Structure formats: C-alpha cells, structure tokens
Chain A
Amino acid sequence: MATLTKQRIGSVLAKQGILIAFAVFMIAFTIANPKFLSVDNLFSVVRSSAILGVMALGVTFVVISGNLDLSVGSMMSFSTIVVLDLHDKIGPLLAIPAMFAMTLGLGAFIGFLVGYLRLNSLIVTLGMLSAIHGLTLTYSGGQNMDIADKEGTWFSAFGQGTALGVPVPILIFIAVAVFLGAVLSKTAFGRKVYAVGGNGTAATFSGIRRARTVFTCYLISAACVATAGLIQASRSMGSQNTVGQGLELEVLAAVILGGASLLGGSGTIFKAVIGVLILGFIQNGLLLLGLQFYVQFVVTWVIIILAVWLDIAAKRGKLWSPIA
C-alpha cells in the first residue's frame, strides 16, 4: 500500500515536472514582489501572452508532426498589417475573413512544400521567414499601418474587450486551446499527427497519408497565426511591419518548454499552454523585480533551461544523468 502511494506520487511527479517548475517560479516571484499575484497582473500577463500562446498552439501540431515552423513571426506581422489595412478599405466584417484567407494561403504554400514536395521544413520556413517579411513590406510600402477611426469601430473587441469580466484575448486563447486540445487528443486526425511525427515509415504502412497530415498541420498553424494577428491588430489598432519579428523563437521555446520533442511524436496542447505561461510570467516577473534589462536576457534563458531540466529530471527520476 505504502509503495503504491509512493509510486503514484512518483508517476505524478514524472508526468507533471513542468507544472512543478511553473509553481516554483510563481512562488519565487510572489515572494520577491507580492503584487505579482494580483488579479490585475495575472490578467495582464495572460492577456499579453495570448498572442504568443495562440501561435504556440498551432506550432505544437507542426512540431508533433516532426517538422518546424520558423515563419510564424513574420507571418503574424503579415496578417496584422493586412487586416489593419483592409479594415479601413473594406470594413472589418470583410477584412477579417480576407486576412484569414491570405494567411491560410501562405500556410498552404508552406504545407505543400514540406508535405508534398518533402522539402526540409527548417529551410522552407526559414526562407519563408524573410520572404513573408518582404511580402509585408511590399504590401505596406514600409509604412506603419493605423486604423483611422479608432473609437468608432467594433474591431477593438478582439484585443481590448472583456466578456464576463475576462479579457477577450484570454477567452480566445482558452477557446482555441480547448478546441485544438480535443482535436489532438480525441480525433483520428490527432492520432495521425502523433504517428507521422513518431515514426513516419510505420505511419505510411498503416495507411496514413503523411503529406496530407503535414499539410493540414501547417494550415492549422497558419489559422492560429491569423488569429494571433487579429488579436494583435485589435489590441494596438495600428502596427509596425516588424511587430512579430523574433516571435518564432519565443513560440518554439514555449512549445519545447511544454515538453514537445523537436524530433516529433510527442507533446500536448495543455503543456504548450503551460510553456507559454511560464515564458510570459518570467518576462513579467523580471520586469516587476526591476532587474537591469541587460541581465534579463540572460536570466530568462537560465530559467528556461532550469525548467527543462526539472521536467527531464522528474521524468527520469534523477537529477544527474550524463550521456553514457
């Protein structure tokens, strides 16, 4: 009986190492500055993490399928600029679906290259990172994009509104996470994604159309990016061409932090959410500490590595495990 309980605790620890790391950081930051745990702060961190978070949900699919998506940062700039520009030209009601269609077009293109032409996803999406950036600049002529009448439009609802006392970006983040979480864990398609990423050859032999699965993962990623761009545009009602620059690495860090393997085949939506929250709260916590910002770059990554180590150590059941 006693051993059973111990085993249970052990297996809980092993499964939820990243949650434990999360709790440790939250407690440490709260001790350093009690305001860290105020409702206002929690809301503001989750709200601003929602943009990164929605993108991370889509990239989780791509990573589980055994590929990478480094284009999401510049794709987000693209969708933000496009929806802001179209808002004043054709109105928000048409601008939003038009922007989604264009962003999905980019996702389909990447999915085609990686899935059907079987090109290396690192090279393809790294190339698309700068190609889409160029596309955005060409589209906007390098100008900042701003909605002319910021007060007289319902477009601000996605980024600035609240429903039932909760900021809308958080609700969107939760809704997308629940939906994609169900897709990944409860549907046949979700199982195919794991199969393709875990062992592609075996997946083929069991009759899974790999190209189509990978293609769909990039479509999901693009849809998430478009949603993030919508929140971003609605939140600031105006944007530079570089708004998403560098986000691709933060997104990837959050997904990996959530325990998805870069080799594919493993990871969950729930843990990706935890990864996003850890990143968001680290950045916020360091700001509240008032740490000099040159140091913040270093500390952020020290904490991320610490979290990954805690997660791995819990899985292995020991802290010290050198390569044999």
Chain B
Amino acid sequence: MKLRNSLAASAAVLALAGTASADTMKIGITQNNVGVDSYQTTYEKAFIAAAGANANVEAVVLDAGGDVARQIAQVEDLIQQGVNAIIIWPTNGEAVIPAVRKAHQAGIPVIVTNSNIAEAGFDFVKSFSGPDNITQGSRSAEIMCDKFKAMGIADTAQILQISGQPGYTTAIERAKGFEDRLPEVCPNVTLVETQPGDWNREKSQKVMEAFLVKYDKIDGVYAGDDNMGVGALNAAKAAGREGIIFVGATNFAVGYEAMERGEYWGSIYQSPVDDAEAALQTAIDVLEGKDVPFLNYFDTPKITQDNMGDFTKPVF
C-alpha cells in the first residue's frame, strides 16, 4: 500500500513554506504483523492517517505478516526504492539485524518502533521509538502499592503475577520493572508466584483458576496486559472470590470496561495512535537533523478507577 500526496498539496505547502526544502520525505515502514491483534491494526491506521496529514511526507507502508524473511526482503525493497528513512517494527529482534545493517550502510537512517532490536544492532539504528516497558512494569507496581496503602494492607498483602509469553522482550521487561519496583515502594508485599499467561485470556483464566485453588489468600494480581488481567478477573468472579486488586498493563477496551464496573483497579495507558505518531515524528526529526535521543520513549501514563475519566476508552 502506498500513500502519495497530490502534487497540488505539495505545491501549496511549498508556496507557504517559501525557502523550506523542496524535497518531500519518503519514509518506508515495515510492520510486524498487522491484523494479528487490535493494537497493530490500530497502529497501522494511525500511521497512515498521520502520514497523510503531513504534506511533506510520502509514506510507503508495508507489513511483514510476522515473517522474518519477508521483512528482510521488504527492507531491501525499501533500500532499492531509495526511501529517505526506514521505520521497522521487528518481527524478531535478532534476525533483522543484517537487513538493518544493510540499510545503514546504504546511508538510510533506520528507526525501530514499538519493540527494540537486540543490542548487537544498536550501531545501525538512529533511534528507538516506543513504550518503555520497564517503566510500565514499575508503574504497575506503584499502582498496586498505592492501592494497598489506601486499603491499609500494605504490610500483609500477598500477590501473584501472570506474565506474558516466555521469551518475549516485552514480557521480560514488564516483569522485571514490576519485580524491581515493588520491594522499593512496598517492601512487605509478597509476590508469591509468577506463571505465564502467554498474552492469552483463556490461558490466563486457567492459570488463575489453579492459583485460586492453591492460595486461600490473594490480595492482588498483576497481569502483563489487560487481556490476561481480564482472564484472571473472570476466573475470580466465577469462583466467587471478591476483593482481589487487579492491575494490568496496555489498557484494552475490556480492561477499561471492567474498571468502569469497579472490578478491575488499574492499568497502563498505551495508545497505538501515540505509538504510530511518535514513530513517524521520530523519523521526521531524524531527517530534519534534529537531536533525537537514542531511546525515544513516548509516555505511557498510569490509569486507575480514580483518573480514568481523563482517558478515552481504548479502541482495541
């Protein structure tokens, strides 16, 4: 899919801009797997919209369909097309490094979006634009801890963790952020056990059912995203266990609705629209020669039942 702005629009901008550069920026993006989940679907729409709204940008939007080989071929295509910058949402943090290096050697700046590539490839990348998952994990710990303090159980609470798919960077980083931060803010809260829910609501529900049998005292559950958090909540509701504080991350519509019903305490608000716009802006800033930090995070704020009115319901 290609987006080209009309010549008339470019001309109008040029006329207005006067002495500004006559070149439009041609920016190529190769995404991970659009359509596999709502987040990526929304991301693509937002990216196309943002690129369309900027008359100086011509976007070439590609999707690797989760296939490493196809993504590598797409990067090579983009190099051949002579784009000014390449944005890549890696299908695999290790395997795409040679392709990224090739783009770098061809003099095309590469921006990584959403999930970073492995450290070995950092030299070939101008900037990473995306969420800071370690911060997300630590913010979830703070949400949980603040709630326990308000309830007066910060000295006795026992919690469980349902993490994302084993081996996923996002899953590892969120768990690490949470586990490191929790003892700093609430030293007496015990994290009793962690099991993976594989980003899957049904799997998470199963794990929670086993937890409910195993532990008579559960004060809180931290899930690596709201999809799993809601699965755990469903299990608790089915078992008639009340008063458990659920905290997730990546606020999904189902999580937002459960918060409205007062069943789910809080999460981290991560908007795919912000994610897409941040990636495009980072690429534009790099091309305009601005000073861009290597790790260019966009903000992912805390959302709880108390402040959810400030946020619109996620579309995914």
Contact = CB atoms under 8 A, between A and B. Distances in A.
A288 B207 CA distance: 9
A142 interface: yes
Interface string B186-225: 0000000101100011100111011111100000000000
B206 A48 contact: yes
B240 to A, nearest CB: 10
B195 A236 contact: no
A288 B214 contact: yes
Interface string A92-127: 000000000000000000000000000000000000
A137 B196 contact: no
Given A144-B38, A236-B201, A287 B234 contact: no
Contacts of A48: 205-206, 209
Interface string A139-156: 001111010000000000
Contact of A142 (B41, B209, B212): B41
B210 A287 contact: yes
Interface in A2-56: 33, 35, 38, 40-41, 44, 48
Interface stretch (A60-68, A240-248, A310-318): A240-248
Contact of B213 (A40, A160, A235, A236): A40
B264 interface: no
15 contacts: A40-B212, A44-B212, A141-B41, A142-B35, A142-B40, A143-B316, A144-B38, A144-B227, A146-B253, A236-B231, A239-B201, A241-B37, A242-B200, A283-B206, A287-B207
Contact of B37 (A40, A160, A235, A240): A240
A79 B18 CA distance: 58
Contacts of B227: 144, 240
Contacts of A284: 206, 210
Residue in B34, B206, B239, B253 whose Cβ sees the most chain A Cβ within 10 Å: B206
Interface in A55-88: none
B293 interface: no
Contact of A288 (B35, B38, B202, B213): B213
B316 A144 contact: yes
B128 interface: no
Contacts of B239: 40, 44
B168 to A, nearest CB: 13
A287 B195 contact: yes
A142 B213 contact: no
A44 B35 contact: no
Interface residues of A, number: 30
Contact of A240 (B166, B196, B201): B201
A294 interface: yes
A295 to B, nearest CB: 11
Contacts of B195: 287, 293
Interface residues of B, number: 33
A38 B211 CA distance: 13
Nearest to A294: B166
Nearest to B205: A236
A293 B37 contact: no
B209 A236 contact: no
A246 to B, nearest CB: 9
Given A38-B213, A144-B254, A137 B36 contact: yes
Contact of B202 (A41, A137, A143, A243): A243
A293 B209 contact: no
B148 interface: no
Given A48-B206, A144-B38, A241-B36, A293 B200 contact: no
Interface of B: 34-38, 40-41, 166, 193, 195-196, 200-202, 205-207, 209-214, 227, 230-231, 234, 238-239, 252-254, 316
A293 B206 CA distance: 14
B214 A142 contact: no
B37 A142 contact: yes
Contacts of A221: none
A236 B253 CA distance: 14
Given A38-B213, A241-B36, A287-B207, A236 B202 contact: yes
A303 to B, nearest CB: 17
Contacts of A165: none
Contacts of A40: 212-213, 239
Contacts of B316: 143-144
Interface in A220-278: 232, 235-236, 238-243
A239 B231 CA distance: 10
B213 A44 contact: yes
Given A142-B38, A287-B207, A160 B238 contact: yes
A207 interface: no
A62 B166 CA distance: 33
Contacts of A239: 201-202
A290 interface: yes
A310 to B, nearest CB: 25
A142 B36 contact: yes
Q: Which 6 pairs show the lowest CB-CB distances between chains A and B?
A: A142-B35, A287-B210, A142-B41, A41-B213, A44-B209, A143-B38
A38 B252 CA distance: 34
Nearest to A296: B195
A236 to B, nearest CB: 5
A38 B213 CA distance: 8
A160 B201 CA distance: 15
B208 to A, nearest CB: 10
Nearest to A238: B254
Contacts of B212: 40, 44
Given A48-B206, A146-B253, A290 B214 contact: yes
